[in-house]
């Protein structure tokens, strides 16, 4: 049997609970901004130790709404070169200018030094991305730097549901955190996003922006240039049900990661991204660096064709500053980002992964690596 790159898990109890919620929602006719959205917000905030949560249509919308509330138009926003396009796309849609910065090889994340190197007199915000659900030990230093310079720190926590550093949850280190509920995430609502913040003012502004900039739900008086960024009640119900299993899912994924760590430690030349001291990651991705010069496309092809193991997409194979659509913001070379983007893969991590599947992945990766090394 093959091992897929991703597997979305809703067990029988989950499916029953979602079906009952959908029946309730369709019976009442309240399909948006209703009680299930509020339940989802409250539960997600409580799970992460945050005071306020605002549900929106996507993780990208969550980030854009936060940046709009910060007023980044015509100003610079520092973003890591190792991230999804949406991190920079949200900056552009909010009217700002993305400034890609280099990253640390150990976490694929910004550091205080790489942020400082990218700051300009026009910098309004820094977006720190928790790649693969790992929170960098540089998070406090980055926050201090931002505070010293009067710059807002925003977390792109799209990968980091349930992750923490020093006992503090992802999404609570900066002014706001933006999460995604895309289907492959540790917790999903099908589509959706969430903003976490301690600021009641940012919460209130976010609620205005998500509903076409209306001052209140019941009127058509528009006071902001908002968008149609509401989360449907159906999606909120799915997310609320799935969220109940977050701790279980994270523990399952951590079990898989521990097995990978132990097995791969015996294989020379393969370098996993290890969990930093103080970090408790959710292992949304298990990132593995291949030796320099490895033909990654061949590696993935042979793992799939010879052993039935499908490797997930990289995070990311092309650094942000080399994305064609972002050419006007490229700037100079960012060597660490360019190196790690060129030679890493992501091993499958499923919330219901079996021991046999783990063994199959380890065997495939080890054997193909040894074959290509020589």
CA distance 347 to 271: 12
Q: Contact, 215 vs 208, CB < 8 A?
A: yes
Range of the domain at 306: 246-373
Angle among Cα 286, 293, 302 to the nearest 5 degrees reads: 60
Regarding whether 193 and 99 lie in a shared domain, the answer is yes
Residues with Cβ < 8 Å from 307, sequence gap 6 or more?
360, 363, 364, 367, 368
Q: Give the pair of three-digit tokens for residue 139.
A: 């998070």
- Residues 64, 120 within the same domain: yes
CA 3 – CA 5 distance, rounded (Å): 7
Structural domain contains residue 98: yes
User: Residues 197, 177: contact at Cβ < 8 Å?
Assistant: yes
Is 310 found in the same domain as 182? no
Whether residues 188 and 251 fall in one domain: no
Q: Same structural domain for residues 26 and 119?
A: yes
Which pLDDT score is estimated for 148? 98
- Whether residue 4 lies inside any domain: the answer is no
HSE-CB at 157 with a 13 A cutoff on CA atoms is 32
Q: Which of 212, 243, 274 is the last residue of a domain?
A: 243
CA distance 272 to 280: 16
pLDDT value of position 206: 98
User: Given this model, what pLDDT does residue 218 score?
Assistant: 83
Tell me, yes or no, whether 333 and 344 share the same domain: yes
Do residues 157 and 260 share a domain?
Answer: no
Chain segment 198-245, per-residue pLDDT in tens:
999 999 999 999 999 999 888 899 999 999 999 999 999 999 999 999
Cα separation, 40 vs 315, whole angstroms: 28
Flag whether 139 is in a domain.
yes
Q: Judge if 125 and 217 occupy the same domain.
A: yes
Domain contains 3? no
Q: Please state, in angstroms and as integers, the Cα–Cα distance from residue 366 to each residue in 189, 266, 297, 370, following that order.
A: 35, 9, 16, 6
Residues 228, 286, single domain; the answer is no
Answer yes or no: do 58 and 204 share one domain.
yes
CA torsion 216-222-224-228 (nearest 10°) is: 80
DSSP class of residue 126 equals E
Number of domains composing the chain: 2
Tens digit of each residue's pLDDT (9 = 90 or more) over 97-146:
999 999 999 999 999 999 999 999 999 999 999 999 999 999 999 999 99
Spell out, as residue ranges, where the chain has pLDDT lower than 50. Answer: none
- CATH classification of the domain holding 332: 3.90.1150.10
Among 216, 243, 270, the domain-final residue is 243
Task: Confirm whether 7 is domain-assigned.
Answer: no
Same domain, 234 and 257: no
Looking at residue 143, which CATH number applies to its domain? 3.40.640.10
Contact 150, 139 (CB under 8 A): no
Tell whether 348 is covered by a domain: yes
d(CA 315, CA 312): 9
One domain, residues 148 and 46: yes
- Residue 291 resides in a domain: yes
Q: Is residue 6 part of a domain?
A: no
Last residue of a domain, one of 221, 243, 265: 243
């Amino acid at each position: 049997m093959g091992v897929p790159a991703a597997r979305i898990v809703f067990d029988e109890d989950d499916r029953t609970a979602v079906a009952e919620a959908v029946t309730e929602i369709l019976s009442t006719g309240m399909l948006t901004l209703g009680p299930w959205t509020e339940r989802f917000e409250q539960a997600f905030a409580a799970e992460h130790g945050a005071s306020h949560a605002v549900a929106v249509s996507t993780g990208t919308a969550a980030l854009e709404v936060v940046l709009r509330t910060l007023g980044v138009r015509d100003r610079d926003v520092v973003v890591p070169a190792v991230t999804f396009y949406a991190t920079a796309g949200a900056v552009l849609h909010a009217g700002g200018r993305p400034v890609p910065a280099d990253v640390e090889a150990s976490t694929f994340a910004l550091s205080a030094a790489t942020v400082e190197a990218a700051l300009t007199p026009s910098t309004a915000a820094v977006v720190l991305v928790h790649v693969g659900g790992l929170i960098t030990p540089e998070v406090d230093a980055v926050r201090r730097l931002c505070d010293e310079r009067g710059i807002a720190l925003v977390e792109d926590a799209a990968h980091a549901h349930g992750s923490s550093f020093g006992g503090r949850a992802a999404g609570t280190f900066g002014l706001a955190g933006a999460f995604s509920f895309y289907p492959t995430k540790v917790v999903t609502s099908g589509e959706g996003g969430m903003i976490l913040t301690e600021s009641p003012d940012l919460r209130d502004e976010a609620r205005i922006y998500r509903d076409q900039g209306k001052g209140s739900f019941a009127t058509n008086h528009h006071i902001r240039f908002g968008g149609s960024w509401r989360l449907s009640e159906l999606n909120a119900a799915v997310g609320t049900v799935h969220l109940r299993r977050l701790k279980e899912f994270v523990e399952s994924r951590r079990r898989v990661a521990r097995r990978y760590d132990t097995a791969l430690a015996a294989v020379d030349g393969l370098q996993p991204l290890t969990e930093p001291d103080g970090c408790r990651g959710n292992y949304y991705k298990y990132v593995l660096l291949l030796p320099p010069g490895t033909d990654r496309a061949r590696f993935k092809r042979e793992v799939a064709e010879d052993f039935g193991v499908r490797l997930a997409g990289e995070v990311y194979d092309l650094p942000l500053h080399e994305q064609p659509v972002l050419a006007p913001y490229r700037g100079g070379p960012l060597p660490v980002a360019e190196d790690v983007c060129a030679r890493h893969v992501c091993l499958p991590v499923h919330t219901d992964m079996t021991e046999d599947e783990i063994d199959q992945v380890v065997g495939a990766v080890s054997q193909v690596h040894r074959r290509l090394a020589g």
